[in-house]
C-alpha cells in the first residue's frame, strides 16, 4: 500500500510526464488532487472577504454583425472585489475615445459575483472533473472541468487550471451557465497570481455580445484588464 501511494505521489509531482491516456488513470488521482486543492484554498474564505486592487480596464466596442469598430474607453479604478457581494469601485481616471471625462460619468454597473469553484460551497454549486494535463503559457497545469449544478448567471461553466508543481491556481476560462436579459454571448479568460496565501485575479479578457432592440442593439465588447497594487481584505475580528 505504501509503495502504491508513493507511485501516485510521484505522478502528481512530475513536471514533464505525458498526459494520462485513459479515464481510469485520471480517476485514481482526481480525488487526491481535489482534496489537496481544497485544503489550500477553502481556509482563505475564513481569513479574507475579498481583495482590493488598482485595475485598468480597456474596453473596445464593435458592431456584432460585422465587427466594425465603434469606439472605446479606458478606466482606472481602485476596486474592492468581494467574494460574496457586489464589488465597489472608485474611479481614478476615465477616458472615452481618448478624451478625458469626469470620473462620475463612468457608471458601468456591477453584478453579484459568480459562485467560485473550490470555495466552501463547491459541492452545492459544481461538479469538478479532472481532465488531464495541459500547458498554459509554458506552465504545466492540471486541467479541471467545472460543471454547474444550477443554471444561473452566477454559475460558471468552463475549465480551471492549477500548476502541477505547486497546485497554485493559474488560469480559468469559460462563460456563465445562463445569460441575463440582453446578453447573447460571453467568453472570459482570467489569469491569477499569488498574494500572501491567496490567489487573486492578475489580468484577463472578457468578450461579450449585447443585443437589446432599440435601446442597445448589436453591441460587441472586448474588455481587457490588469490589476496591481493588490491587498487582501481581511475578515473583521469580532470585538
Per-residue pLDDT of the chain (239 residues; tens, 9 = 90+): 444 444 433 333 333 333 344 455 787 899 999 999 999 999 999 999 999 999 999 999 999 999 999 999 999 999 999 999 999 999 999 999 999 999 999 988 888 999 999 999 999 999 999 999 999 999 999 999 999 999 999 999 999 999 999 999 999 999 999 999 999 999 999 999 999 899 999 999 999 999 999 888 999 999 999 999 999 999 987 76
**Residue 228: what pLDDT?**
97
* Pairwise CA distance, residues 40 & 33, whole Å: 11
Are 63 and 217 within 8 A, CB to CB?
A: no
* Pairwise CA distance, residues 138 & 161, whole Å: 13
* Pairwise CA distance, residues 119 & 41, whole Å: 7
* Pairwise CA distance, residues 3 & 205, whole Å: 45
**Residue 239: what pLDDT?**
64
CATH class belonging to 44-228: mainly beta
**Residue 26: what pLDDT?**
80
Give residues with Cβ within 8 angstroms of 121, minimum separation 6.
Answer: 115
The whole-angstrom distance between residue 16's C-alpha and the CA centroid of its chain comes to 26
Amino acid at each position: 500500500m505504501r509503495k502504491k501511494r508513493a507511485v501516485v505521489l510521484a505522478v502528481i509531482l512530475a513536471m514533464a510526464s505525458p498526459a494520462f491516456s485513459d479515464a481510469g488513470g485520471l480517476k485514481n488521482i482526481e480525488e487526491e488532487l481535489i482534496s489537496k486543492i481544497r485544503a489550500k484554498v477553502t481556509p482563505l474564505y475564513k481569513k479574507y472577504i475579498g481583495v482590493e486592487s488598482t485595475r485598468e480596464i480597456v474596453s473596445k466596442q464593435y458592431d456584432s454583425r460585422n465587427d466594425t469598430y465603434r469606439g472605446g474607453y479606458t478606466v482606472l479604478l481602485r476596486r474592492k472585489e468581494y467574494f460574496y457581494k457586489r464589488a465597489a469601485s472608485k474611479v481614478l481616471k476615465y477616458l472615452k475615445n481618448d478624451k478625458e471625462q469626469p470620473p462620475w460619468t463612468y457608471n458601468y454597473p456591477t453584478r453579484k459575483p459568480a459562485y467560485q469553484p473550490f470555495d466552501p460551497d463547491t459541492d452545492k454549486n459544481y461538479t469538478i472533473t479532472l481532465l488531464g494535463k495541459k500547458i498554459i503559457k509554458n506552465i504545466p497545469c492540471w486541467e479541471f472541468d467545472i460543471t454547474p449544478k444550477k443554471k444561473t448567471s452566477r454559475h460558471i461553466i468552463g475549465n480551471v487550471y492549477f500548476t502541477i508543481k505547486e497546485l497554485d491556481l493559474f488560469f480559468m476560462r469559460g462563460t456563465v451557465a445562463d445569460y441575463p436579459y440582453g446578453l447573447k454571448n460571453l467568453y472570459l479568460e482570467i489569469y491569477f497570481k499569488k498574494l500572501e496565501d491567496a490567489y487573486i485575479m492578475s489580468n484577463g479578457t472578457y468578450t461579450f455580445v449585447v443585443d437589446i432592440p432599440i435601446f442597445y442593439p448589436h453591441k460587441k465588447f472586448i474588455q481587457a484588464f490588469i490589476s496591481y497594487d493588490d491587498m487582501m481584505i481581511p475578515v473583521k475580528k469580532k470585538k
